[in-house]
Amino acid sequence: MLITYREAIRQALRELLKDPTVFLMGEDIGAYGGAFAVTKGFLEEYGPERVMDTPISESGLVSAAIGAGMAGAHPVVEVMTINFTLLAFDALVNHAAKIHGMSGGRVNVPLILRTVTGSGNQLGAQHSQNIEGHYAMVPGLKVLAPATPADAKGLLLSALYEPNPVFIAEHFALYNTKGEVDEERAFVPINKASVLREGTDITLIAYSRMAIICMKAAELLAQDGISAEVLDMRTLRPLDLDTIFTSIAKTHYAVMVEETGKGTSIGGSLIAEVQEQIFDELKGPIRWVAGLPVPVPYNKTLEREAIPSPDSIARAAHELLKA
């Protein structure tokens, strides 16, 4: 079935709500239907006890969700954008992520947090960050960044069966993109990367919207006779290193691509793992194509220049292969 990324998430949420312990909570998710219309109509369909509008207090709503999870419920929290998760950083990092370990495994915190990441829509620096990499550095959290409608649905379905917190970053630019999605409960494993395109000459590694941009870069490279394999990481924590290592062992060249700058990303950790564990498979250094290390500009032209593009990715691949 061909549906949008948004509709895929809506389908998954309806599946989750079949579990009586699940409820949704967040800012404007009820009467307004969510900032990106993901929960439009849910309040009328499920009622205010299952779809809860909360005050504009990210720390408060995430803390309440932690308590609800510890008490036996399974809250699904929507934080309007990833920028606002910083206001709940203490609750997420010092409490949600640590309670299971600090209790010797006796207490779980079943909690799904959905939020919106991404730049490219002229929303200004404070609303255009890609800081999911920060959360991917936190033991106790699982961090997902789906790029396709099928993965947006399947990863969210799988998150219900995780006993501890799952952080899902949904790129705003993907909500209207379409893709084939199984009408049934098509689960996607949380710890497995996806090969979007097979190739033999070079591996392009990315997640979220950049995985789609890498597909376009692969098309450009194909015009020059270069066969690029595109890996969608899907899960930032835990990393599926086996799939990444297998691809690099085949192509011997790799480009890591991220929308965010290098200082706030997961790419450096992945590159370090490759260098440490399969260095002998590399025929050249891994290239790292990332956003510029600046607050994302509001100006449309400057913003576009601050974000990796198919051309910049293809250019990096050419430079690596020619080196």
What are the catalytic residues?
58, 127
φ/ψ (deg, to 5) at 18 = -70, -20
φ/ψ (deg, to 5) at 115 = -150, 170
- Are 109 and 164 in contact, with CB atoms under 8 Å apart? yes
Q: What number of CA atoms fall less than 13 Å from residue 155's CA on the CB side?
A: 30
- Sequence-ordered list of residues with C-beta below 8 angstroms from that of 206, at least 6 positions apart, any chain: 213, 214, 230, 231, 232, 233, 256, 257, 258
Alpha carbon distance 175, 35 (integer Å): 12
CA 6 to chain centre: 14
Instruction: State the CB neighbour count (10 A cutoff) for residue 134.
Output: 20
Alpha carbon distance 9, 150 (integer Å): 9
- Helical H runs in the chain? 5-16, 42-46, 58-70, 89, 99-102, 132-135, 149-159, 209-223, 241-251, 267-277, 300-305, 310-322
